[in-house]
Amino acid sequence: MRLQVVTAVTALAATSACQSRWSRDVDYKALSKMFSSSVKIYYPGSGNFEGASSRWSNLDISTVNIVVVPSTENDVVETVKFADKKKLPFLAYNSAHGAITTLGKMTRGIEIYMDQLSRVDVTKDGKTVTIAGGTKSKLVTDTLWNAGKQTVAGACECASYLSPGLGGGHGWLQGRHGLIADQFESMNIVVAKGTLATINSSPELWWAAKGPGHNFGIVTSVTSEIFDIEHKDWAIKIITFKGDKVEELYDAANKHLLKNGTQPADVISRSYWFNDPDADASNKASRPSTPPILPPSTPWTPSLSKRREAATPTSPNRKKAYEFFAENIRGSSVFNNWLVTFDGYSMQGVQSIGAKSTAFAFRDQNIPIGPLITYMPGGAELDDKAAKLGKQLRQILDEGSGREHAPAYVNYAFGDEGPK
Ligand SMILES: Cc1cc2nc3c(=O)[nH]c(=O)nc-3n(C[C@H](O)[C@H](O)[C@H](O)COP(=O)(O)OP(=O)(O)OC[C@H]3O[C@@H](n4cnc5c(N)ncnc54)[C@H](O)[C@@H]3O)c2cc1C
């Protein structure tokens, strides 16, 4: 125990020394002269630095040596130009929910924290909205709602609007209008050399920005299509079932509700597998945990967690997958907070858009699935074990779909799937 503590402290000291030496070697004063007056710069060791560089997932996180918080798009331009000149890696941080393991490949460099670039401006004709690059989903939904408008935004209010969108972007309204990216009409983007460009329907970059968009530049703002709110009311019903109902439940849901991905555009069904000791202790086979509710005039943007995609697996495989999951979360397993999420979004809007019109892949897939394994840090061996479990679950589900390999939604990807 004692040895472990000493090792950890030594490693921390070595990292801090390394970071501050690295920071001293680069003349950041030259960079700060180029900035607007409200830019913020955080160095390692400060509380602001810690806050701005921490991430939602601890797995394979990036290491950064300085945080620049731009307040204008020109601040982004100057930072990227500086990084290019000094041959320094740089990475945009938005709300830092991205959990792909390739982020860990950044072992030094400049974080460009988008937090101050937060604005939502509805255009005068009421047909579009311009959203700054660091705006959170919640601000977009709330601002539009107050103006009697809405657009497709991610289901989670705490993630940014743009980062899910650059990967395609699933959300509540996709059954009507398509993905978040399908609403984009133009964007301002700072590319690798630090050039600011406005792009819209013509260049190839426009095609590429919608799907694997995070790879091609830093988007400082986007203009998206908006719609009048047609239905102000919505309802939600949450029902908890015990694991022995898994086959029956999905068969019934598929037959009566989801209809193999052809449910009505306004019906969304999500299911979660997780360890609920209370439900296990109860002898009831199922229990409604909330009454149906119909609150008027409220946008709904709850927080959810998920990763990775596969198609609808057949029910024997769903049962096999469930049993594999249940076996690995039982009792005092370190993985007993494992959550598997099935996002049964409606697909009409997404599938009405030509597959080749954007780089977003797999428009034909119905249910993004996320085997999100949460556990206390315990070293590389435990990380490998968790990764192996996730892959095994994915494989079981995939075998049931009859495909050769799982198509991955880039925003849920683990990082080992390869570019294709
Ligand atoms: C709790 C939770 C809920 C989620 N809900 C949804 C959902 O409803 N729908 C959905 O589709 N996905 C969802 N996801 C997945 C989500 O799309 C990704 O995790 C996404 O990367 C998170 O966005 P972020 O702003 O936190 O990104 P960050 O982690 O800050 O960034 C992720 C990547 O995007 C890049 N990036 C960030 N901002 C910009 C920018 N302005 N220009 C260019 N590149 C940029 C970063 O450099 C990084 O590579 C969810 C994830 C979590 C953890």
Domain containing 44 — which CATH number? 3.30.465.10
Phi, psi of 21 (to 5 degrees): -65, -45
Q: How far apart are CA 274 and CA 243, in angstroms?
A: 10
Mutate-to-test residue for ligand 1 from 94, 161, 363, highest number of ligand atoms within 8 A of CB: 94
Q: From first to last of its 420 residues, what are the pLDDT tens digits of the chain?
A: 232 333 233 333 333 444 445 555 677 778 888 899 999 999 999 999 999 999 999 899 999 999 999 999 999 999 999 999 999 999 999 999 999 999 999 999 999 999 999 999 999 999 999 999 999 999 999 999 999 999 999 998 999 999 999 999 999 999 999 999 999 999 999 999 999 999 998 889 999 999 999 999 999 999 999 999 999 998 999 999 999 999 999 899 888 888 877 899 999 999 999 998 777 665 454 444 444 444 334 443 333 333 333 334 566 688 899 999 999 999 899 999 999 999 999 999 999 999 999 999 999 988 899 989 999 989 999 999 999 999 999 989 888 777 777 789 999 999 988 888
Q: Are residues 270 and 379 in the same domain?
A: yes
Work out which ligand 1 atom sits closest to the CA atom of 303.
1
Q: Are residues 276 and 396 in the same domain?
A: yes
Give the CA count within 13 Å in the CB-facing half-sphere of 358: 27
Q: How many domains does the chain have?
A: 3
Beta partners for residue 67, in sequence order: 42, 111
Contact between 234 and 172 under an 8 Å Cβ cutoff? The reply is no
| CATH number of the domain to which 266 belongs | 3.40.462.20
Say if 419 falls within a structural domain: no
Q: Whose CA is nearest to atom 32 of ligand 1?
A: 98
Domain stop point among 88, 116, 144: 116
Residue 1, SS3?
coil
Q: Are residues 375 and 327 in the same domain?
A: yes
pLDDT for 281 equals: 66
Q: Are residues 127 and 170 in the same domain?
A: yes
Q: Report the number of secondary-structure helices (H) and strands (E) in the chain.
A: 13, 16
CA 343 / ligand 1 centre spacing (Å): 17
Q: Are residues 89 and 127 in the same domain?
A: no
Contact between 411 and 167 under an 8 Å Cβ cutoff? The reply is yes
Q: Are residues 350 and 213 in the same domain?
A: no
The CB density around residue 318, as the number of other CB atoms within 10 Å, is 22
Work out which ligand 1 atom sits closest to the CA atom of 56.
53
Domain stop point among 228, 251, 282: 228
pLDDT for 65 equals: 94
CA 160 / ligand 1 centre spacing (Å): 6
Q: How far apart are CA 301 and CA 122, in angstroms?
A: 20
Q: How far apart are CA 67 and CA 227, in angstroms?
A: 37
Q: Are residues 267 and 185 in the same domain?
A: no
Contact between 116 and 70 under an 8 Å Cβ cutoff? The reply is yes
Match 């107050």 to its residue by tokens. 146
Q: How far apart are CA 92 and CA 219, in angstroms?
A: 9
pLDDT for 1 equals: 29
The one-letter amino acid code at 197 reads A
Say if 417 falls within a structural domain: no
Letter string b/e over residues 54-73, b meaning 16 or more CB atoms within 10 A of that residue's CB: ebebebbbbbbbbbbbbbbb
Say if 351 falls within a structural domain: yes
Work out which ligand 1 atom sits closest to the CA atom of 98.
29
Q: How far apart are CA 76 and CA 414, in angstroms?
A: 28
Match 């209008």 to its residue by tokens. 177
Q: Are residues 89 and 140 in the same domain?
A: no
Q: How far apart are CA 189 and CA 232, in angstroms?
A: 34
Say if 363 falls within a structural domain: yes
Say if 171 falls within a structural domain: yes
CA 126 / ligand 1 centre spacing (Å): 27
Phi, psi of 397 (to 5 degrees): -65, -40
Q: Are residues 214 and 322 in the same domain?
A: no
> The domain containing residue 156 runs over which residues?
120-228
Q: How far apart are CA 34 and CA 74, in angstroms?
A: 9
Say if 329 falls within a structural domain: yes
Q: How far apart are CA 65 and CA 112, in angstroms?
A: 11
Q: What is residue 257's DSSP assignment?
A: I
Residue 222, SS3?
strand
Q: Are residues 94 and 137 in the same domain?
A: no
Say if 85 falls within a structural domain: yes
Residue 245 in tokens: 């109902």
Say if 272 falls within a structural domain: yes
Domain stop point among 65, 88, 116: 116
CA 2 / ligand 1 centre spacing (Å): 39
Q: Are residues 153 and 215 in the same domain?
A: yes
CA 98 / ligand 1 centre spacing (Å): 5
Q: Are residues 148 and 45 in the same domain?
A: no
Residue 62, SS3?
coil
Q: How far apart are CA 168 and CA 409, in angstroms?
A: 8
